[in-house]
Structure 1
């Protein structure tokens, strides 16, 4: 696991009050973390600040798992 993965999981763990060590690439925002659309918008805004990227609304809608977030961020940094 590299720095980007660790930062993403740390952000998600803090936002949802879970242990980062329990998060995997397959962790689902909605099924495992009970995230709603507002949560996903908030997470995308945190990603924008943390990684100095822009996340379009269509990208937010496509976030299903942590792997999706990792892929999105890696494509923009």
Structure 2
């Protein structure tokens, strides 16, 4: 399936899966309103998370954009707009 075919729910599920894998948190802890601060992610965690998202969604997320992605909902919106 191409990324362009994904709807918001499918994007959320993929993003949540990556967050769970990268940060070692429970899926129940990850909602669109969850911030990475809430998940105790440090700057290295964020860098690794962005790299995993770039690979999964076959896109490049510039550093200046990555810095703005503080919540799961922001990541979903960014991917939706740039897929």
Query: Could you tell me whether the CA contact under 8 Å between 2:54 and 2:60 is conserved in 1?
Result: yes
Q: Unmatched 5+ residue regions in structure 2? A: 1-7
Q: Which has the higher contact order (CA 8 A, sep 6+)?
A: 2
The equivalent position to 1:54 in structure 2, one of 42, 51, 60, is 60
- 1:22 Cα deviation (Å)? 2.8
Q: What whole-Å deviation, never above 9, does each CA across 1:44-74 have from its counterpart, x for those lacking one?
A: 1111100001100011111111011111111
CA distance in structure 2 between the aligned counterparts of 1:4 and 1:21, rounded to whole angstroms: 16
Q: 1:34 to 1:22 in 2, by over 3 A?
A: closer
- What is residue 15 of structure 2 aligned with on the other side? 8
Q: Unmatched 5+ residue regions in structure 1? A: none
TM-score normalised per structure 2: 0.83
The equivalent position to 1:25 in structure 2, one of 2, 19, 32, is 32
CA distance in structure 1 between the aligned counterparts of 2:53 and 2:77, rounded to whole angstroms: 12
SS of match in other structure, 1:75? helix
TM-score normalised per structure 1: 0.88
